[in-house]
Chain A
Amino acid sequence: MQSALYFLLALRSLKKNYRIALPLFGGSAILVSLFYSTMALPHSLTHHFGIDNLVASSYFEIIEMMCQFLLVIFYLYLNAIWNNTRAKENAVFTSLGMEKGQLVRITFYQLGLFYLSSLVAGIILGICLEKVLLLFLLKLLDLEPLIGFYLSYDALKTTALFILFCYGLLFVCSTISVLRSKPLEHLHEPQGGEKPLKAPYFFALLGLISLLCGYCLATMTTNQMYLVINFFNAVLLVIVGTYLLFLYGSYILLELLSRNKKAYYQTRHFIFWSTMKSQLRKNALALANMSILSTMLLIISATTITLQLSIKPTLEMRYPNAFQVSIPYSPTLQDATTQSPTNKISSIRKDLNGQAAQHQVEFQDLRILPFTLVSLYEPGDSSASVIHLDDLNELLQTDYKLEENEIFVLDGAYFQDQLDKLQKYKITDLEHDDQLNWIADLTPLLTIVAKDNANFVPVRDELFLSFDLIDAQTKENVAEDEATSELILDLLKPYLGDQYAYVYMRSDFSKNLKYIYSMLLITGLYMTIIFLLAVILILYFKQITQGQEDHQRFKIMKHIGLEPDGLRQIINSQVRILFFSPLITALIHILFAYPLIQNILDSMTYETFDHFFIVLIACFMIFALLYWITFRLTARSYYKLALLNDQTNDFTI
Chain B
Amino acid sequence: MALLEVRNLQKIYKSRFSSVQVEALHDVSFQVEPGEFVAIMGESGSGKSTLLNLLAVLDQPTAGKIYINGQDCASIPNKELSAYRRNHLGFIFQDYSLLDTFTLKDNILLPLVLNKMKYPQMIEQLEPLAKELSIEPFLLKYPYEVSGGQKQRAAAARALITHPELLLADEPTGALDSKSSQSLLELFEYLNNEQNQTIVMVTHSVSAASYAKRVLFIKDGKIFHQLYRAKQSREQFYEQISNTLTLLASMEENTCKAPYTSF
Contacts and interface: CB of A to CB of B under 8 A. Distances in A.
Given A561-B82, A647-B59, A653 B13 contact: yes
A38 to B, nearest CB: 45
A650 B114 contact: no
A564 B82 contact: yes
Given A270-B113, A651-B22, A193 B144 contact: yes
Interface string B53-71: 1001011101000000000
Contacts of B62: 653
Interface in A189-216: 190-193
Best-surrounded residue of B56, B59, B106, B110 (most CB of chain A within 10 A) = B110
A265 B117 CA distance: 9
Contact of A266 (B97, B113, B144): B113
A652 B17 CA distance: 10
A191 B111 contact: no
Contact of B122 (A265, A647, A648): A265
Contacts of A653: 12-14, 59-60, 62
A281 to B, nearest CB: 10
A426 interface: no
Contacts of A271: 110, 113
23 contacts: A191-B100, A191-B143, A192-B101, A192-B144, A193-B100, A262-B119, A267-B114, A270-B110, A270-B113, A271-B113, A274-B99, A275-B99, A553-B101, A556-B97, A560-B97, A560-B110, A561-B85, A563-B82, A564-B82, A647-B59, A651-B13, A652-B14, A653-B59
A651 B16 contact: yes
Contacts of B111: 560-561
B86 interface: yes
Contacts of A647: 53, 59
Contact of B58 (A190, A275, A559): A559
A181 interface: no
A208 to B, nearest CB: 26
Given A193-B145, A557-B99, A650 B113 contact: no
A561 B114 contact: yes
B37 interface: no
B85 A191 contact: no
Contacts of B116: 266-267
Contacts of B113: 265-267, 270-271
Lowest 8 CB-CB distances: which A-B pairs, in order? A561-B86, A193-B144, A651-B13, A563-B82, A278-B101, A556-B97, A561-B85, A270-B113
Interface in A255-285: 261-262, 265-267, 270-271, 274-275, 277-278
A278 B15 CA distance: 37
A79 B176 CA distance: 39
A653 B106 CA distance: 35
A13 to B, nearest CB: 23
Size category, A interface: 20 to 34
A267 B115 CA distance: 8
A562 interface: yes
B93 interface: yes
Interface in A545-591: 553, 556-564, 566
Interface string B79-103: 1001101110001010001111110
A193 B142 CA distance: 8
A549 to B, nearest CB: 10
B216 interface: no
B109 interface: yes
> Looking at chain A's contact residues, is the secondary structure mostly helix, strand, loop, or mixed?
helix
Contacts of A270: 106, 110, 113
B158 A651 contact: no
A274 B111 CA distance: 15
Contacts of A651: 13-16, 22
A88 B99 CA distance: 23
Contacts of B102: 274
Interface of A: 190-193, 261-262, 265-267, 270-271, 274-275, 277-278, 553, 556-564, 566, 647-648, 650-653
Nearest to B88: A561
A291 B142 CA distance: 31
Interface residues of B, number: 40
A189 to B, nearest CB: 11
Interface string B161-190: 000000000000000000000000000000
Interface in B18-60: 22, 53, 56, 58-60
A266 B114 CA distance: 8
Contacts of B82: 558, 561-564, 566
Contacts of B86: 560-561
Most interface-central of A275, A557, A563, A652 (chain B CB within 10 A): A563
Contacts of A561: 82-83, 85-87, 111, 114
A566 B81 CA distance: 13
A652 B16 contact: yes
A560 B143 CA distance: 16
Contacts of B60: 653
Contacts of A267: 113-114, 116
A560 B91 contact: yes
A363 B62 CA distance: 99
A275 B101 contact: yes
A642 to B, nearest CB: 14
Nearest to A651: B13
B16 A556 contact: no
A558 B111 CA distance: 11
B106 A191 contact: no
A275 B110 CA distance: 13
Nearest to A561: B86
A559 B15 contact: no
Nearest to A557: B99
A562 B158 CA distance: 14
Given A193-B100, A653-B12, 19 more contacts: A192-B144, A193-B144, A193-B145, A262-B119, A267-B114, A270-B106, A271-B110, A271-B113, A553-B101, A556-B97, A556-B99, A557-B110, A560-B110, A561-B82, A561-B111, A562-B114, A564-B82, A566-B114, A651-B16
B243 to A, nearest CB: 35
A551 B61 CA distance: 25
Given A193-B144, A266-B113, A653-B14, A274 B85 contact: no
Nearest to B101: A278
Contact of B101 (A274, A562, A563): A274
A265 B13 contact: no
Contacts of B119: 261-262, 265
